[in-house]
């Protein structure tokens, strides 16, 4: 079975840095990590490969530094990786990104199964998985919390709902987005790391993919972010000292300021 896992580079800290002009997240590759939800997708893909044989390909659209995270995926069981990287991809919203990723899947010659994390922890849209499936004309299931059975033709999975789960059988090829705790992502092994250093890695540009310039990057993004900001932390602890009357006065002053 040929499985593609979509991987996104996200900032490792909660405080992201925004470009004040484009209102998009500045991604400089420093301190970035694999989107945590994607690590569960990767683990599931590797478990399916261990069960059915085949190959796992890690796929990402991102800056050149994303190669580090794709090679990390190959240290945890992926066989090879494909990076879609081009300045013209910058500023893409979910529509442009899913279009670009669909070109990546076609570049791979099609796959039997695509696994994505349910969402990225920086954008929180949860749109890429469904949109990618639509771009490719594939069936998809979101919020998968377990895969009960899989063979070359179908997958039987459980989709989390507000009240429990639905059990769904889907014909392959298909796309699933997974929630966390679907499995326990493995640590890299020593041979895995050594393999990843020389593992097959390809990087493709917009031209390589024959991408439509009107459908990629900012040009292909109808979404306009008007303003994004990091909320200011306003909690503060103050230690008051003094005698009782002083303390009472201080507390009263603080209340007056706040109310």
Partner 1 sequence: MDLNLIKPMHDDYTDYLRDESRAIGQADSISFPKNEYEVASLLKTLYAQGTPITVQGARTGLAAGAVPRGGHILNLSKMDHIKGIRQSADGHFHITVEAGTILSQLRKRIEQKKFDTADWTNESQQAFEAFKDEPALFFSPDPTESSATIGGMVACNASGARSYLYGPTRDHISGLRVVLHDGQIAALKRGDYTASGRTLSFPTLQGNQITVDLPTYIMPKTKNASGYYIEDHMDAVDLFIGSDGTLGIVTEVELRLQPLPQTVWGITCFFSEEAAALDFVISARDTMNQLASVEYFDGHALDILRYQKKHNPGFSKLPILPDHVNTAIYVELHCQEETDAVEGLKTIGQLLEKAGANPNDTWVARNESDRDRLLFFRHAVPESVNMVIDQRKKTNPMITKLGTDMSVPDQHLKQIMAMYHRMLAERNLESAIWGHVGNNHLHVNILPRDDEDYKKGKALYDEWAAEVTRLGGAVSAEHGVGKLKAKYLEVMYGQEAIEEMARLKQYFDPKGLLGAGNMIEPVKGEVSQ
Residues at the interface with partner 1 (CB under 8 A):
12, 33, 36, 72, 75, 184, 186-194, 197
199-233 CB burial, b ≥16 within 10 A, e <16: beeeebebeebebeeebbbbebbeeeeeeeeeeee
Residue 8: which of 154, 148, 118, 173 has the closest Cα?
118
Q: Between 90 and 146, whose beta carbon lies closer to partner 1?
A: 146
Q: Between 24 and 183, whose beta carbon lies closer to partner 1?
A: 183
Residue 72 CB, shortest distance to partner 1, in Å, is 8
Residue 184 CB, shortest distance to partner 1, in Å, is 6
120 Cβ contact partners less than 8 Å away, ≥ 6 residues apart: 8, 10, 35, 37, 38, 128
Q: Between 16 and 193, whose beta carbon lies closer to partner 1?
A: 193
Residue 223 CB, shortest distance to partner 1, in Å, is 30
Residue 125 CB, shortest distance to partner 1, in Å, is 22
Distance of CA 166 to the CA centre of its chain: 24
Residue 73 CB, shortest distance to partner 1, in Å, is 13
Q: Distance (Å, rounded) from C-alpha 138 to C-alpha 98?
A: 13
The 10 Å Cβ neighbour count of residue 173 is 21
Q: Between 72 and 143, whose beta carbon lies closer to partner 1?
A: 72
Q: Between 88 and 188, whose beta carbon lies closer to partner 1?
A: 188
Tokens linked to 234: 């306003």
Beta strands 55-61 and 164-171 are unpaired
Residue 169: φ, ψ to 5°: -110, 125
Q: Distance (Å, rounded) from C-alpha 218 to C-alpha 104?
A: 18
Residue 113 CB, shortest distance to partner 1, in Å, is 24
Q: Between 165 and 195, whose beta carbon lies closer to partner 1?
A: 195
């Amino acid at each position: 079975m040929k499985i593609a896992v979509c991987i996104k580079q996200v900032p490792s800290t909660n405080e992201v840095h925004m470009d004040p002009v484009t209102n998009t997240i500045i991604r400089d590759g420093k301190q970035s990590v694999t989107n945590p939800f994607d690590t569960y997708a990767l683990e599931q893909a590797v478990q399916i490969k261990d069960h059915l044989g085949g190959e796992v390909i890690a796929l990402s659209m991102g800056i050149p530094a994303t190669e580090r995270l794709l090679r990390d995926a190959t240290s945890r069981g992926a066989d090879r990786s494909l990076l879609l990287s081009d300045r013209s991809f910058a500023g893409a919203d979910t529509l442009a990104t899913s279009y670009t990723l669909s070109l990546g899947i076609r570049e791979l010659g099609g796959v039997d199964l695509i696994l994505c994390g349910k969402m990225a922890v920086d954008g929180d849209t949860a749109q890429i998985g469904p949109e990618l499936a639509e771009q490719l004309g594939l069936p998809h299931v979101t919020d998968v919390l377990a895969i009960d059975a899989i063979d070359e033709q179908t997958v039987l999975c459980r989709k989390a709902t507000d009240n429990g789960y639905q059990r769904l059988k889907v014909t392959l090829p298909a796309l699933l987005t997974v929630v966390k705790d679907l499995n326990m992502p493995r640590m890299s092994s020593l041979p895995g790391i050594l393999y990843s250093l020389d593992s097959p890695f390809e990087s493709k540009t917009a031209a390589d993919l024959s991408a439509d310039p009107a459908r990629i990057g900012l040009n292909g993004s109808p979404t306009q972010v008007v303003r994004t900001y990091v909320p200011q932390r306003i909690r503060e602890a103050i230690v008051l000292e003094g005698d009782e009357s002083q303390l009472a006065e201080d507390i009263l002053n603080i209340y007056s300021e706040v109310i």
